[in-house]
């Protein structure tokens, strides 16, 4: 039954994505917020399919930790699920993404129109400076910044590998950084689209206020996310689905 559900969801996901991508092409000539609203609609309909076709639901904990003003959200990255979820959980997020994604048809076009924060991972110091400049513009516009601090998807239980980009943003933007833990990797594979039934838990942790030294910030961020993630993974093991590669 799980295999049938997965096949049905694949058909649903790709059909819906193709439909809305084509329908929103004229929006590339409209104000940016039109495309941002379209991304939210796409995400909500995808999540409807996850819940009703696959049997994969989600829970958000710690909403009381959301800052009143602009902030950086440092999110644990295990699957495609959390990249979709950002468009529902946060208003008009500016997501840090690698430059290679901009060449993708449709997704890249819409990401560029939505003024996401693009980083060239081979650009070193110049790339970091450009990321900070762009992020400062997005924060000034009142948009939340989303960054996956390890830079890539990790399997549940993998050793952490936090990159310097999140520290550069924290030290330059002078806004709180909100650690976000989750256990999505137990129910959605690291590569591709293969969700399983269960309940993903995303936990918003208390924000790290601006002003910490770089080393202390990175230590607190990693400890907070990894400790909460281990707890959520242990909780997820009690559910029928188990980790996927």
Q: Show pLDDT as tens, one digit a residue, over the chain (245 residues).
A: 578 888 999 999 999 999 999 999 999 999 999 999 999 999 999 999 999 999 999 999 999 999 998 999 999 999 999 999 999 999 999 999 988 888 888 989 999 999 999 887 666 778 788 899 999 999 999 999 999 999 889 999 899 999 999 999 999 999 999 999 999 999 998 777 789 999 999 999 999 999 999 999 999 999 999 999 999 999 877 665 444 44
β-strand 198-204 against 56-61: which pairing, if any? parallel
- For residue 12, is it within any domain? no
The CATH number linked to 113 is 3.40.1130.10
Residue linked to tokens 């980790």:
243
| Number of separate domains in the chain | 1
| Structure-derived torsion over alpha carbons of residues 52, 8, 239, 42, reported in degrees to the nearest 10 | -60
Please write down the long-range contacts of 27-36, taking CB distance under 8 Å and 24 or more positions apart: 27/113, 28/109, 28/110, 28/113, 32/113, 32/114, 32/115, 33/92, 35/110, 35/113, 35/114, 36/92, 36/114
Is residue 175 included in any domain, yes or no? Answer: yes
- Domain assignment present for residue 164? The answer is yes
Instruction: Say if 38 falls within a structural domain.
Output: no
Beta bridge partners of 94: 145
Residue 161 resides in a domain: yes
Q: Residue 208 is part of which domain span?
A: 57-236
Do the domain assignments include residue 209? yes
Cβ-based neighbour number of residue 168 at 10 Å: 18
Three-state DSSP state, 16: helix
Helix 81-89 × helix 32-49 angle, to 10°: 120
Does the residue 160 lie in any domain? Answer: yes
pTM score of the predicted model: 0.91
Q: What are phi and psi of 242, to 5 degrees?
A: -120, 175
Q: Does residue 52 lie within any of the structural domains?
A: no
Strand order in the sheet with 94-98: 56-61, 198-204, 177-182, 72-75, 145-147, 94-98, 117-119
User: Do the beta carbons of residue 53 and residue 158 sit within 8 Å?
Assistant: no
10 Å Cβ neighbour count for 197?
A: 17
Cβ atoms of residues 202 and 89 within 8 Å: yes
């Amino acid at each position: 039954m799980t295999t049938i559900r997965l096949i049905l969801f694949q058909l649903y996901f790709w059909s819906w994505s193709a439909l809305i991508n084509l329908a929103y092409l004229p929006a590339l000539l409209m104000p940016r917020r039109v495309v941002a609203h379209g991304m939210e609609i796409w995400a909500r309909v995808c999540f409807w399919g996850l819940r009703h076709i696959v049997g994969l639901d989600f829970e958000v904990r710690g909403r009381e930790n959301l800052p009143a003003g602009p902030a950086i959200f440092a999110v644990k990255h295990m699957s495609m699920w959390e990249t979709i979820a950002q468009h529902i959980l946060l208003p008009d997020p500016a997501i840090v993404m690698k430059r290679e994604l901009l060449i993708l048809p449709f997704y890249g076009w819409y990401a560029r129109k939505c003024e996401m924060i693009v980083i060239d991972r081979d650009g070193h110091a110049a790339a970091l400076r450009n990321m900070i400049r762009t992020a400062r513009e997005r924060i000034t516009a009142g948009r939340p910044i989303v960054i996956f601090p390890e830079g890539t998807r990790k399997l549940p239980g993998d050793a952490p590998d936090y990159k310097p980009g999140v520290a550069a943003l924290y030290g330059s933007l002078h806004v709180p950084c909100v650690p976000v833990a989750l256990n999505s990797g137990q129910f959605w594979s690291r590569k591709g689209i293969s969700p399983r039934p269960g309940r993903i838990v995303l936990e918003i942790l208390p924000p790290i206020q601006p002003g910490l030294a770089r080393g202390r910030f990175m230590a607190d961020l990693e400890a907070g996310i990894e400790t909460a993630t281990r707890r959520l993974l242990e909780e997820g093991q009690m559910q029928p689905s188990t980790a996927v590669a």
